[in-house]
Structure formats: C-alpha cells, structure tokens
Structure 1
Amino acid sequence: MSIACKNMLSKVMFTLFVVCNSESSAEHNFTYNGFRSANLSLDGVANIAHNGLLELTNKTKLSIGHAFHPARINFKNSTNGTALSFCTSFIFAILSDVPALKGHGMAFVIAPNLELRGSRADEYLGVFNPINDGKSTNHIFAIEIDTNYVPVFNDINDNHVGIDINSLSSDVTSSAGYYDDNNNGAFRNLSLFSGKAMQIWLEYDGLNKKIHVTLAPIKVAKPKIPLLSLARDLSPILDEFMYVGFSAATGSSLSSHHYVLGWSFSISGQAQELNISQLPSLPHIGPKKRSMVLTVVLPVISVVMFVLVFTYLAFLIRRKRKFAEVVEDWEREYRPQRFKYKDLYVATKGFNDEELLGSGGFGRVYRGTLPNSKIEIAVKRVSHESRQGMKEFVAEIVSMGRLRHRNLVSLLGYCRRKGELLLVYDYMPNGSLDRYIHGQPKVTLDWKQRFQVIEGVALGLFYLHEGWEQVVIHRDIKASNVLLDAHFNSRLGDFGLARLYDHGADPQTTHVVGTHGYIAPELYRAAKATTSSDVFSFGAFLLEVACGRRPIEMNADNEEINLVEWVFAFWRKGQILKAADPNLGSSKHVAEDVDLVLKLGLLCSHIDPTARPSMRQVVQILERDSPLPDMSSLGLSFKTLKFAQGFEDITMPYPSSSNSGSKLTGSSTVSDILLSGGR
C-alpha cells in the first residue's frame, strides 16, 4: 500500500473516531433551552406545545405524564462499578386553573426503563404504585417536587422537595425555599404552586458520595447553600445504563398543569447553564389586565357608586347574619368543604324531578352541575323520616370527608339547612356495577373490564385497611355499592355503615349490619366487625362478579341457593370454571384469570377468619406478585363453607338490592342509586 493511501486511511479512521466520541458525548451531555426540536420519549398525556414548552400533565384527571431523554446514559464506571458524578439543572412551573385548589406534584427521575411499568397517578406521581413503593429492586432515584400532603409517605407539608430512593418516603426533605446569598444566607420560602417558574440544580459527587439539591426563583443565581444534602453512595441504586427524565400525575378530583421550560444534563462535568431568554413562555393564568379606559373610569365610578355599594354591603351583612348556619363542634374538627344551599339548589335546577337519579328510604339523589366550576355532582338529600339519620350522616362526614383514593367515591362536601341533610359526591356517569351484572343491561362488561373493577375495589379496600391514618371497616361491600366512572373504573362507595379505629386497636362490639349473603359468619356470634369480615364480603363480591350470580338466590322451590357453596361444589369436582359466567369468553388468558378469581373468592369466604388473606395479600395475588396458596392445604370442605345456615334473618339498616328488576330501584342503600348515570 502506498504512503498516500496509508495517510488517507489514517485520516478517515481519525475522523470516524472523533464522530463516534462526539455522538457518545452528546448522549451523556445535553441542553434543551425549550423543547421545540427535542426528540424526547413521551408517554401518557405528556406533550410538547407549539412554543417548545414541555407539558407533562393537562386537565385530565387521574392521568400520568412521562418525558425522558431517549438515549440511555452510562452512570457507572465499567471497571469498578461505582456511580459516576453527574449534574443536571431544569426550570419548571406548576399551575392550576383554580389557583386555590392544589393538585399533585412532579419528579425528576433516573430509572432503568422508559415505561415505569405499573406506576399510578394521584400521590404516586406516576413513579411507583402501592405494591412496589419502597422495594430495593426498583433502582429508581428521584427528586420529588410535591404540592400534596400524604401522611403515608411521611410528608412534612403540602409544599416540599425531597430526595427519593426507591420510594416516595423521602430520605431527606425540606419545605420549598432557598438560602439568600444577598442576605447572609437567610432562608426564603417559595410556593411551588405559585405558577411561577423556578430552577433546580441536582449534583452528585461520585468521589465523596454526596447529593446536593438547590432551588431558587428563575432570575436568582444558584445559591451557595443547597436546600437538601444527603451523604449516600448511589452505586447500589443505579444500574450501569439508565434513563433520565420527568414524571407528573393528577388526582381524582384536583389536577395541576406541570411544565418544564428548559433542561441541562452532564455526566462527570458541570451542566451547561440554561439561557433564560430562549425559554418558552408559560400560559396565562388569572384574570386579564384591565384596559386603560377602565383604569381611568374606575375611580370615577367608585366615587359615584360608593354610597350604593356601602348600602348594598350592609344589606348583605345583615342578610348573612339572619341566615347564618349553625356549626356544631364535631363539624369544626372533621368538616370537608361546606356547600351553600343556594349553589346546590341552582346545580340541581331546584331539585327538579328531571335531575332525579333515584330514591329510597333515606331520601332522594339528584344529579347537578355546580354553577361556577361546572363540575358534575350527585347530591343526596336525606329525608326527615330517614332511618339513616344524623348518626350515620356524621359517620359519612367523619370517614369519607378525609379519605382520598382513586378507587373510592369522593365526598366533596355537605350542607345543612333547616334540618335538611345534604351530601355532595363525585358524579359517576355509569352508575353501579350491580346493574351491569344483574340488571339485564344493554351494555355488558367483558372479563377485562370486570377484572379491572375487581382490582380497583381491592386497591380501595387495601387503602381503607392499611393505607390511611386509621383502619376503616366498610361493612357493606357488594356490587351495588361499587360505582363506575366514565371509563368504567371502579369506586367503592356508601360509607354509611363504616367504622373506624386506630391501627393496633381492638374493634368494638356493635350490632350486626350489612346485606344477607355478604355478612361473615363470625359477626352473628361476636358482632365485632374486623378487616377479616370485610375480606369475607369481598370474597362474596369476587364470586358475584365472576359468576354473574347473587350471593343468595332462590330456586324454583323457594329455597335459598348459597353462591359460595355452589362454586365450592364445582371446585370439589375439579370443574370450577363451569361456575363462571358463560358470557365471559373462553380464551386461555380469560380462563386463567377467572380460575384465579373463583379460587380467591373461596379463600376469602373461608369460615375461619384467620384462614382468610389480608387485602394486601389479595392485591399481591391479583397483580401476580404472589402465588395463590394451595387450596387443598387450607382444610376447605363442604362443612366449613356452609357459612350462613341456621342463622335467623336479621333486620338490616339498608335492605338488600337482590332481585332488583330495574337499574335504579329495588334497594334502599345509598350507593344503589347514588351517582348513577341511569334515568
């Protein structure tokens, strides 16, 4: 080969070497001053606006938005396996259409994959879910920017920043703010929910194993003192190659807009400074600016109208005092939002019969639309003759008023006026599950939808038993108390019979209540409701959904047919799938799911409370994180499953909805007609 050819080959190889190294460096170091031309990996409702603004969430409730840099980044030294130093900076803003109502937060995330599989909305920020939160196998590092207070995660308030490692229970957290270099390092509070842009700097020192997080307003230089510092080696947490990006989520009743304006990242070096002048602008919130004409005319109008306005205000004050509502002591401690009677009257068109969803022994339920927010609601107007009465009304206020979960019907507020009791709930357009299984509906639920309903109720019940500050025993789990939203997601409702007690405390003895066929056998003996008695009711519910039959039905000879015993007979013959609803389909996947649900229903319906699984175990079994126990080893027999024979009927506070011929009538329980979308 000639010398000229050799020189030419050397130049080509050198050029390829430079290009390859340049591309590798580009994957590990990048800067986005706006995202108009960015090739991000977007998931969920995340979107890049026409001006280059990265919008992680929008008005959609219970939604998740993910935005990741598309290329994997090498976070470890391949020789010794130690985590490399890295630095990132980004500018964000959190806005709301209703500034007084806070939604949920967002997070900067380093994760092993782009999908964040199984992540949930609400307080989980689209990063974790109730099952994997806290697991060391997650390999997730995040900076939490949260505007919601969740006691389960040990949050300090509803305006904090935290360093999260494999869990939303932060390793270290602080109220949002910064240390002012121009005022001797004095701490300045910041409101994450102010709608103003702010900048975060995250630095990891791989040599000294330290993490620093700094927060400041967009036009303030990076403070010398970080907001958060944590001595932690990230080598066991991070994989060799990881993805970096953002996650945000909205809730079931409140939502926020989460935006990222610019982002810079670097491995083993300082991240490039963002150019504020090139960043996209945030959307306008709040009222529009007044015109010059109004600015000039307004003082004149104010002088002219002063006497009239003063007189009118005096009239309003006198009127408010005259019709002031009495607030009792228990309401001061527990009350959620209190609605004005006038607003509910307007929302329901004067409680017009055209807006009537249904009625029962407790009173009537109306559909309405709040005049200002246009939010659809359901208003339960309790009658004076109601057997539910003040005691149960207070129980719903106390229990439901503070419960927040995507699979529970939210109690938005209440109203009391001249002895009338009114409860305001989220409106569920698809009504109760009962009518889709037993009411001969025009629209039926396939197995995928039914399994989704089962999972939702299980997660809601798990939250009641273990996820809240107190243990909540529902005591009336059944298909008619499961409501379906617009997307057929399930919400457990009707907390009129609920009982609360502290974790670790012994439940108190009470009178037996519930619906025949769902009541655990030990309640007839001890009259003490527990989480195990709720699990029994859930077992009957599982069989009801999978078989399309009620827990108790009458045969041609007017004899009771017990669903648990009926399914058990098929299981004993090794033919349990013959008990399933024939409308569910016959694919292999459906058969496996139905087989699991039927066996789990029998297990939850065991006569021995100690043999039943907890709701935590039920969720793990449904999500395939834990195997179903060997049924033959649990001592199941026809004798042990004859759970309700020989007991006399008891008087129920709310009659059962069995044999309901219509989609709304035939029941006096709240949720049989509450929030139903039917007419």
Structure 2
Amino acid sequence: MRYSSKAFFPSNGTVDLAAFASSAGGRRKKWAAVVGGVVGGVCLLMFLVIAVFFWFRRQRRPAESLTGDILGATELRGPLNFHYRDLKFATKNFSKENKLGEGGFGEVFKGTLKNGKIIAVKKLVMTQTKSARASFLSEVKLISNVHHQNLLRLLGCSSKRSELLLVYEYMSNGSLDKFLFGEMHGMLNWKQRFDIVVGMARGLAYLHHEFHVCIIHRDIKSNNVLLDDNFKPKIADFGLARLLPGDQSHLSTYFAGTLGYIAPEYVIHGDLTEKVDTYSFGVVVLEIISGQRSSGGSVHEALPQHLLEWAWQLNEEDRLLKLIDKSLNPDEYDLEEVERVITIALLCTQVVSLRPTMSEVLVMLLSRGRLNVQLSRPTFIESPSRGRSDLTDSTGSSSAAPTSILMPKFSAR
C-alpha cells in the first residue's frame, strides 16, 4: 500500500502501468523464492537427521551381535547370538593352546573377540533335533537372565550342526581346586577362603530363593567355583543339567569323579531339592578349610578316609581344629570363627530334614559367636574300590564314622 497527499497520476491523462506491475511481480517472486528456499532447506535438514538416526540404529544392532560386547548382556533379555565363525576365530579354531579345561558338559576354550574382549567358550555336543534346539534356546535364555556377583555370567550362544556353544565371561584365576590342592596350594589366606565360602552361599541362595525360578545346580564342587582377579568366587555351570539330552540320565553323567559331593538321597532315590546343593556346599567348605580333596587324599597329604568321615571323627573327638590346612598362618585366623564354619559345613551334610537352606546358611556364616546346634551322623557315598569292611548302616552303630553307602555300579575317578 502507498499513501500521498498528491495524485499518483495526472487526472487528465493515461499512464502505462506495465512497468509498475512487472516490478511488484518480481518482488513477489523474489520473496517467494527466499521463503521456499528456507522452508525446503529446513525440511531437508530434518530428513537427513532422521535418516542418519535410523541408519545408525540399524547398523548398531548387527555390530553388537557380531562382537558380543559384554555390556550388552546386562539387560534382561535373551542371550546375544554370536556367529560361529567369530567364535572359531576368537579361539584360534578351538586350539589346544586355548583350552582352559574340560568338564561334564564339554570343553572350555579361551577366546578373544574382535573388540578385544576376552571370553570363555564352552562346547556342548548333543543331538541337534528341532525339539532339542528349542529346549536349548529356552534354557539358555533363562540362564542368561541370571545376574549375580557370585554367579558366572552367560554372555551368549551359538550353534552349528551338533555343536552348541555357550559364551561366558572369562575368569583369570581359573577354578578354586587348583588353589586348594593344585599347583597354587597355600596361596589363599583365611580371609580369602572365608570370603569364598560366603560368596558361594550368596550365589546359591540367589539361585534357590531370589531368582524368579528355583535353579538347582546339582554339581557343586571346587572346580565349578571360579575366581576373578580379586579372588571373588563365581559359581559356574548352573542350570546346564537341564540342557542334557533326554536319553541321558543326570546320574550317569555325574558319578564319574564327583561321588564325594553328591547328596545321598539324590543318588539313591533321585530326590532332587535345593538341599542337594546344600550338601555339596558343605563338602566344598570342608575342602576349603582343610586343603584336602573330598574323596580322601591330595597331592600334599593323603587322607586314610573320606574327608567328611575324617571331619566327623574329629568332631566326635572334639578336635575340629585339626582339620585346618597347615599352610594357613595361625596368626591370620580366629579359632572360634574357623570352628563355627566347620560346624556349619557339617550341618549342611545332615539328613535332608535337618539340613538348612542356603539362605539360613548365609545368616549363620555372617553371625558371630559359637553355634549351638545338635549334629547327627552324616551320610556319604563311598566308592567300592576303597574296599572298606567296617561300613555302618543307617539302622545305627556306635561307630563315630558317618553312615556309608556302597554304590557297586559306579566308581570314583
């Protein structure tokens, strides 16, 4: 709009308005071009930002699955799916130099992922039927959601034909057994041993009572307890018993070499409760305190009898402190505390009705003072190869030895 006190054009003549019209139209086109350019630029920038966001998101997911970053396993979800070829590369084709050990479920290898993470890979060999694979994936998903500081974390899995691979966090100090009666014997002081006992109790209490599904380990023993850089214990192989094929009995798998740990009611009657783990825990605690194998004897000092039998005999003779590992410095432990832990271990090996739960065990371990409990003769499974002739039966004998049961179908290695 334009205002003036004088006429824009002469009143008695005509004016060609073409020049004015073209000038105004040019200005409108110019402003339209500027506005259109700005709006178009903003829209293009927003489109590019959104496109880059979705591209980055899509590219990130395969990378996590490929490299298996340990941090990715902390969420409550299914396990990471590793590529078989990546695990094969990480373990140098499952070479002997990378082999960490071999247990009831298969061989374990050390591996290094492309992102530098060090892992442990367990190879399970089983029939790869459709139902077996579905069961495997279901159980692995359950195990991967178990997060506790005293339980070994399952990071992921992979499979190829009959081979099923489980990927775990790597534990630099290996298994507990080598520190008790292996090449590292004598390196653990009493505080470290006590912390290991408490850590094991915490882990088992979580599996039995705190996780939303009760998981019974079934095979608690010293070489299934792994130690990290700070000697913090982490229980391994929990939940794996249910991954065995249906045509394999759990008993036939585990009797070789672990008779000294298995609860008698499970061996004889197949009664499986969480107190089966309590019994095994008690035996491992006796090993931790004495530095002796449960089967009787070690590379350091051969025992003439089963460790549980010897411990019970010392209890009857009121000489429990004789059980203490001679490599321990007497100035580093409290005798009353050691005696209380031994008493708890013996309590864990009682008959099922008198055996405490792992939550109760943890409370007793963290309490102070002498325990006022009544102990009865424990029962343990003994190998017939020992040739014992003075076995007692469950009907009662005046002998101080625990009730022994011969299992002629099985032998201990």
Q: Is the TM value for this pair above 0.5?
A: yes
Question: 2:229 aligned to 475, 478, 486, which one?
Answer: 486
The answer as to whether partners of 1:438 and 1:548 remain within 8 angstroms in 2 is yes
The answer as to whether partners of 1:465 and 1:471 remain within 8 angstroms in 2 is yes
Indicate the SS of the match to 2:237: coil
Q: Report 1:183-332 matches (<5 A).
A: none
CA gap 1:451/1:360 in 2 versus in 1, 3 angstroms? closer
Count of matched residue pairs: 306
Aligned pair 1:438/2:181, yes or no? yes
Q: Report 1:387-402 matches (<5 A).
A: 397-402=140-145
Question: 1:342 aligned to 76, 82, 85, which one?
Answer: 85
Structure 2 residues without counterparts, runs of 5 or longer:
1-47, 49-76, 244-248, 379-391
Partner of 1:381: 123
Question: 1:422 aligned to 165, 182, 198, which one?
Answer: 165
Structure number having the greater strand percentage: 1
CA distance in 2, matches of 1:482, 1:351: 23
Question: 2:324 aligned to 567, 580, 586, which one?
Answer: 580
The answer as to whether partners of 2:289 and 2:324 remain within 8 angstroms in 1 is yes
CA distance in 2, matches of 1:609, 1:628: 23
CA gap 1:439/1:537 in 2 versus in 1, 3 angstroms? same
Indicate the SS of the match to 2:108: strand
Partner of 1:47: none
Partner of 2:405: 646
How much does 1:446 deviate? Answer: 1.0
Amino acid at match of 1:645: S
The answer as to whether partners of 1:475 and 1:497 remain within 8 angstroms in 2 is no
CA distance in 1, matches of 2:242, 2:211: 13
Aligned pair 1:451/2:194, yes or no? yes
Report which of the two structures shows the higher radius of gyration computed on alpha carbons.
2
The answer as to whether partners of 2:200 and 2:233 remain within 8 angstroms in 1 is yes
Q: Deviations over 1:14-40 (max 9, x none)?
A: xxxxxxxxxxxxxxxxxxxxxxxxxxx
Indicate the SS of the match to 1:593: helix
Amino acid at match of 2:342: L
The answer as to whether partners of 1:408 and 1:491 remain within 8 angstroms in 2 is yes
CA distance in 2, matches of 1:562, 1:442: 20
CA distance in 2, matches of 1:370, 1:461: 30
How much does 1:577 deviate? Answer: 0.2
Indicate the SS of the match to 1:524: helix
How much does 1:466 deviate? Answer: 0.4
Q: Deviations over 1:387-435 (max 9, x none)?
A: xxx6895686254222111101111110012332111001011000001
CA distance in 1, matches of 2:193, 2:295: 20
The answer as to whether partners of 1:521 and 1:643 remain within 8 angstroms in 2 is no
Aligned pair 1:527/2:270, yes or no? yes
CA distance in 2, matches of 1:351, 1:563: 37
Question: 2:101 aligned to 358, 364, 367, which one?
Answer: 358
Q: Report 1:35-184 matches (<5 A).
A: none
How much does 1:442 deviate? Answer: 6.8
Partner of 1:604: 348
CA gap 1:649/1:511 in 2 versus in 1, 3 angstroms? farther
* TM-score with structure 2 setting the length: 0.65
The answer as to whether partners of 2:312 and 2:401 remain within 8 angstroms in 1 is no
Partner of 1:147: none
Amino acid at match of 2:231: F
Q: Deviations over 1:292-325 (max 9, x none)?
A: xxxxxxx9xxxxxxxxxxxxxxxxxxxxxxxxxx
Partner of 1:474: 217
How much does 1:603 deviate? Answer: 0.8
Indicate the SS of the match to 1:397: helix
Q: Report 1:496-575 matches (<5 A).
A: 498=241, 512=251, 513=254, 515-553=258-296, 561-575=305-319
Amino acid at match of 1:578: K
CA distance in 2, matches of 1:611, 1:596: 17
Question: 1:630 aligned to 359, 372, 382, which one?
Answer: 372
CA gap 1:433/1:360 in 2 versus in 1, 3 angstroms? closer
The answer as to whether partners of 2:172 and 2:229 remain within 8 angstroms in 1 is yes
CA distance in 2, matches of 1:492, 1:463: 11
Percentage of matched positions with identical amino acids: 38
Q: Deviations over 1:365-395 (max 9, x none)?
A: 22112213x2210112335699xxx689568
How much does 1:498 deviate? Answer: 4.0
The answer as to whether partners of 1:621 and 1:628 remain within 8 angstroms in 2 is no
Amino acid at match of 2:197: I
Partner of 1:9: none
CA gap 1:396/1:436 in 2 versus in 1, 3 angstroms? farther
How much does 1:525 deviate? Answer: 3.5
Amino acid at match of 2:293: R
Q: Deviations over 1:475-522 (max 9, x none)?
A: 11110100001111100012365469xxxxxxxxx8644520111122
CA distance in 2, matches of 1:455, 1:412: 25
The answer as to whether partners of 1:396 and 1:495 remain within 8 angstroms in 2 is no
The answer as to whether partners of 1:436 and 1:444 remain within 8 angstroms in 2 is yes
Amino acid at match of 2:321: L
CA distance in 2, matches of 1:351, 1:384: 18
Indicate the SS of the match to 2:166: strand
Partner of 1:595: 339
CA gap 1:384/1:491 in 2 versus in 1, 3 angstroms? same
CA gap 1:442/1:530 in 2 versus in 1, 3 angstroms? closer
CA distance in 1, matches of 2:140, 2:304: 37
Amino acid at match of 2:236: G
* TM-score with structure 1 setting the length: 0.41
The answer as to whether partners of 2:190 and 2:332 remain within 8 angstroms in 1 is no
Q: Give the superposed CA RMSD.
A: 3.5
How much does 1:336 deviate? Answer: 1.4
Partner of 1:39: none
Structure 1 residues without counterparts, runs of 5 or longer:
1-298, 300-333, 501-509, 659-679
Q: Deviations over 1:340-382 (max 9, x none)?
A: 123223322343443232346755322112213x221011233
CA distance in 2, matches of 1:445, 1:628: 24
The answer as to whether partners of 2:189 and 2:332 remain within 8 angstroms in 1 is no
CA gap 1:536/1:642 in 2 versus in 1, 3 angstroms? farther
Q: Deviations over 1:612-635 (max 9, x none)?
A: 11111111111117x66423x344
Partner of 2:359: 616
Indicate the SS of the match to 1:357: strand
